[in-house]
Amino acid sequence: MNIKILGCSGNYVGRHRTTCFLIDETLLIDAGTITDSLPRKDFRKIKRILVTHTHMDHLKGLFPFVDELAMMGEHNIELVSAAPVLDIITNNLLNNLIWPDFTVIPSANDAIIKLQDIPLEKLSRLDSVSVKPILTTHTVYTVGYVVRQQDGEGFMFTADTGPTKRFWELAHDEKSIHFIIADVSFPDRLKDLALISGHMTPSILMEMIDRYGLGDRTFYVTHIKPIFGREIVREFVRSGRHNIRILKQAETLTI
């Protein structure tokens, strides 16, 4: 499994792109950036977008992408997530007010966007991978994921979350997990803001790691607000924890 990091920042400024991971060229996790990170020839390879939640930094790339697919013709994609996430998208975004309803364009039977809801805490097969959504703690309904390839090896992604419980309980019990991609958006001095907005700081992540006995796991930090990037890196360096790394845009993780 190859996971190409198209975007992993907590804001879309300058060269920074927001959350979007491309798995084996066909599956995206979130859609913070697509058309500005991939050449047009790769658009048709994408079959599904696995959505964590409906904040715009995780969905903004969806809109130019589906518009381009409509112009290219003869292609559709699936939006996959827990049912409440899909409901928010259809009721509030693809509602012909914010953006055209591509779930019925060009027709209901042959729409650009197909919706597929999957149950919480159960593995659902999506071609060569299986995914398990886990409810996390954010300001809107949000799910993190376990993602596994056919041999059972895989990784986990917290999505946007503050201190949460169920995700970490399952992380402790999940086997053959190579790494966990975890949200850290703010430095420790802004812990109150992180908690209010449903995110973590370095100390909060380390508290979760210690509380749930995950010190032997490899972690990649994502969703850093660019303005706080150097400060957050310094806090992790001072911690001396060699199992925590900063996720980098355009890098590829391999399982």
CATH 3.60.15.10, domain 2-254, yes or no: yes
For residues 109 and 130, which has the higher predicted lDDT (pLDDT)? 130
pLDDT at 73 over 90: no
Q: Binning pLDDT at 50, 70 and 90, where does residue 166 land?
A: very high
Question: Residue 116 pairs with which residues in a beta bridge?
Answer: 80
For residues 24 and 74, which has the higher predicted lDDT (pLDDT)? 24
Percent of the chain with pLDDT over 90: 96
Q: Binning pLDDT at 50, 70 and 90, where does residue 113 land?
A: very high
pLDDT at 78 over 80: yes
Domain ranges of the chain: 2-254
**For the stretch 64-98, what's the b/e string if a residue is b when 16 or more beta carbons lie within 10 angstroms of its beta carbon?**
ebbeebbeeeeebbebbbbebbbebbeeebbeeee
Per-residue pLDDT at 72: 87
pLDDT at 74 over 80: no
Residue listed under structure tokens 């058309």: 35
CA-based radius of gyration for the chain: 18
Question: Residue 214 pairs with which residues in a beta bridge?
Answer: none
